[in-house]
Structure 1
Amino acid sequence: MNQLKLIVFLAFIFTSSCLLGQREYDVYVFVAEECPISIYMAKPLREAAKSHGKNADFYAVFPVATSNSATANEFLTKYELSDWQAKLDPTHALTRQLEVKVTPEVVIVDRTSRQIYYRGRVSNAYAAPGKMRHGERTNELRTMLRRLEEGHTPTAPWPAAVGCFITAVNNED
């Protein structure tokens, strides 16, 4: 009987530890159709969605006043981001809520608790706007999603996003 209790206990521990890494996330990446860095990041964004789509929903957020459904969908199609959902944010409500300053910038949010697990760059390809790094590139979005799936919680400070500044919109809420 004691052996059966031990087996049940070990099964519970194993199941619980496996479930720790099965959180569900919303991944918001703020992009702009005309931002060269947003365009360059399409490949690492595709890779992240392909690798981690089972645990996350991916949103391409367009915080540009001139963006519309047609231009957003054209961007997603042209850069092969078919797994991504377009989200227009012309009034910057989501941009302000998530404190995003540039495109592209990533914010990973726990779907249930709404806790932010990451806010920063997609990859380390750019040292500054117009200044690409030489050598190996890291896909920080994939790294953060993998760490979350393994049960780790990435902590700030996170690597700052490098990109095109989002022009503020005057809103009287």
Structure 2
Amino acid sequence: MNKEAFDALFEDRVARRLASLGFAPKGKTLVFFDGCQTLALFRLGGRMSAPGSISHILCFRHSILRDRSEKVPTGFTKEIFDYPYKLRPLEDGGSELIYRPQNLSYHYERLHWEGASEDAVLQKLDRITSNIEDHFLPWAMTLPLTQVRSEIEQHGENAWCERMWIEDYAEHLSLNGS
């Protein structure tokens, strides 16, 4: 399989299906942003890329959180480290969708398409899309702010970004009585 064939399959099996759920392309990233939360499927480049494959990571954040510049962005933020949750889209997460600190580096997935059969590539692309449709998006849309704050407090490393996010959740919850 060549790059053009892979890109066409990705467009058909991932981008189009996710567009029907409200995801929009921002460069090579597919972003769901509803004003309250962002779920973004990042396609990674640079040192994370390799010939004949793509590398990707799925990230989630609430819109009340400040970014690394300590400002609340008004829309989609392109920096992966501005997202508390960094997930691998080929894994469905199951009941283990909890905060895991990845503040200095993160685990991503690599999908090799060169030398793979079309059926094998289609199976992986369909699994990514199904996992986002059936697991990640419903989880993100119903994740309580109190739960995220608690998870960061419980599982965090006391990193400056985690302290900032905990403050953001606490402030929002105190202002909104939740």
User: What TM bracket, shorter-length normalisation?
Assistant: 0.3 to 0.5
Which structure's relative contact order is higher, taking Cα pairs within 8 Å and 6+ residues apart?
Answer: 1
TM-score (norm 1): 0.33
TM-score (norm 2): 0.33
